[in-house]
Structure 1
Amino acid sequence: MPLLNAFKIHGDAAQRALQNQETLLALSPATVAYGVTRGSRGAEPDADRVHDKLGEVAGRAGAAVKRAEGRSRPRRGVVRALLAPFALFGAGPAGPRDFPESWFGGRTCEGRGGSAARAVQQSTKEVRESYLAVSDRRLLLLGQRESGGPMSVLWTASRDAVAMARRRPRLLARARLEIRFTDGSWVVLSAWPPNIGSWHAKQIVDALAR
């Protein structure tokens, strides 16, 4: 079991965001995993920034990244490389250079603009907290704009739009999950700390297999 069970804690709020007679099967904190999210074949590039979740993992080290924003590119490169192993446990988009994201996180989002994976990626940026939900009808991305606030549907697709779902652990980061869509796009999502175990990812994969 995880340190924090999202289904038990936020299940009621998530259920209220669903349609009538729709049943929630699984719920996981989710944002695009740390790694290279810009890619070939027309994929839209991400901005050069470090996700807010890095600050929750690295603490003072996260502040060092912000201080490094105005410094020379070599200094920023060193800071980013040192913090990459910490960021792997949370999430954050890649910058315009693939190192160190490609080494530690690999590629975590692929698809053209307007694809399902890119829609998921963009939706996670619009809220403070985001959750991947599986119901008996749909795959959904839910969001909370403030902690403890109501959940709303940010993105949704039918179960038929999911071609495949599997766990994608990397190094010690076990909470990574890959979703491949029938439009050919795919995204690797990660539950942020303290959910660094594989429990949430397993629940999503199992629910989509039903």
Structure 2
Amino acid sequence: MTDSSYLERLTQLVEQGERVRAVAKTEIAQGVLPPDPPATGSPEPSGSGRGGGRGGGVSGALLNLLSPLVSFSAGDRIVDRVTHGIAGRGAPGSAASTLQHSRRPVPPATTLDDTILAVTDRRLLVCASGPVKLWSSKADDERAVAETRVVWSAPRAAVADARVGWHRLNPKRLRIEFTDGSWLSFTVPIAEPGKPLREIASALTGR
């Protein structure tokens, strides 16, 4: 499914008179992400959260490596930092914090969907497609596009900068920085072109 497949649907979702400038199918980069917004966070068990002891974090990381089905918050962050680095920063409730939370699957997640970035002459939009399948038919793809919805948005003025560059072995990583000091990164698979991400950056910055 190409990025342009979503363009017609996005023109239906924007406000009257709003024009779509760029569209990219992407995903939030792997790595350590900003914390969740305060109102949506839930208390973590004693000893397994960010405030837990050092031993709990290390043992959690080891368990995460041994079994992906075992999840500890501190362990997750250690594994993410070592294997993928930093994918975003920001205080709870910042633009990057609320954006990444908007794309987190709600348990029990039984389907997958695409993340779509769009830039209009007014806003940065983050959208979620309808359910997608690994082996999809044309009808499946059309249904995913038709069910695309906006899950997060911010005025263009809230974006301080955007650029595509190298991160470790990935030459196609989009970093969007917000005026509140937070930032978040997005990627596409290595085999896919980085042009849509560069178009997003250009549309946000005018460069």
Q: Give the TM interval when normalised to the shorter protein.
A: 0.5 to 0.7
Aligned pairs for 1:74-153 within 5 A: 74=62, 76-77=64-65, 96-97=74-75, 98-126=77-105, 128-147=113-132, 148=144, 149-153=146-150
Q: For structure 2, which runs of at least 5 residues remain unmatched after alignment?
A: 43-59, 107-112, 133-143
Go from structure 1 to structure 2 and tell me whether the alpha carbon gap of 1:169 and 1:79 turns closer, same or farther (over 3 Å shift). Answer: farther
Instruction: Work out which of the residue numbers 22, 39, 57 in structure 1 matches 2:18.
Output: 22
Query: Does residue 1:11 correspond to 2:12, yes or no?
Result: no
Query: SS in structure 2 opposite 1:187?
Result: strand
Shift of 1:75: 5.9
Is the contact between residue 89 and residue 184 of structure 2 (CA under 8 Å) also seen in structure 1?
yes
Percentage of matched positions with identical amino acids = 27
Cα distance in 1 between the residues matched to 2:205 and 2:98: 22
Residue type at the aligned position of 2:91:
R
More strand by share: 2
Go from structure 1 to structure 2 and tell me whether the alpha carbon gap of 1:38 and 1:180 turns closer, same or farther (over 3 Å shift). Answer: closer
Query: SS in structure 1 opposite 2:96?
Result: helix
Shift of 1:145: 3.3
Is the contact between residue 28 and residue 187 of structure 2 (CA under 8 Å) also seen in structure 1?
yes
Cα distance in 1 between the residues matched to 2:170 and 2:5: 22
Residue 186 of structure 1: aligned partner: 183
Is the contact between residue 111 and residue 184 of structure 1 (CA under 8 Å) also seen in structure 2?
yes
Shift of 1:45: 8.4
Residue 204 of structure 2: aligned partner: 208
Shift of 1:184: 1.1
Query: Does residue 1:177 correspond to 2:162, yes or no?
Result: no
Deviation digits for residues 167-191 of structure 1, max 9, x if unmatched?
1332332332111111111111223
Instruction: Work out which of the residue numbers 155, 159, 162 in structure 2 matches 1:162.
Output: 159
- What is the number of residues matched between the two proteins? 165
> Which structure: larger Rg?
2
Query: SS in structure 2 opposite 1:206?
Result: helix
Q: For structure 1, which runs of at least 5 residues remain unmatched after alignment?
A: 47-71, 81-93
Residue type at the aligned position of 1:137:
R
Shift of 1:78: 5.2
Shift of 1:76: 3.9
Cα distance in 2 between the residues matched to 1:10 and 1:179: 21
Residue type at the aligned position of 2:120:
S
Cα distance in 1 between the residues matched to 2:179 and 2:185: 15
CA RMSD of aligned residues (A): 3.0
Residue type at the aligned position of 2:123:
R
Residue type at the aligned position of 2:118:
A
Cα distance in 1 between the residues matched to 2:166 and 2:198: 11
Shift of 1:117: 0.4
Instruction: Work out which of the residue numbers 184, 193, 196 in structure 2 matches 1:197.
Output: 193
Residue 37 of structure 1: aligned partner: 33
Cα distance in 2 between the residues matched to 1:73 and 1:183: 31
Cα distance in 1 between the residues matched to 2:165 and 2:192: 13
Shift of 1:79: 6.6
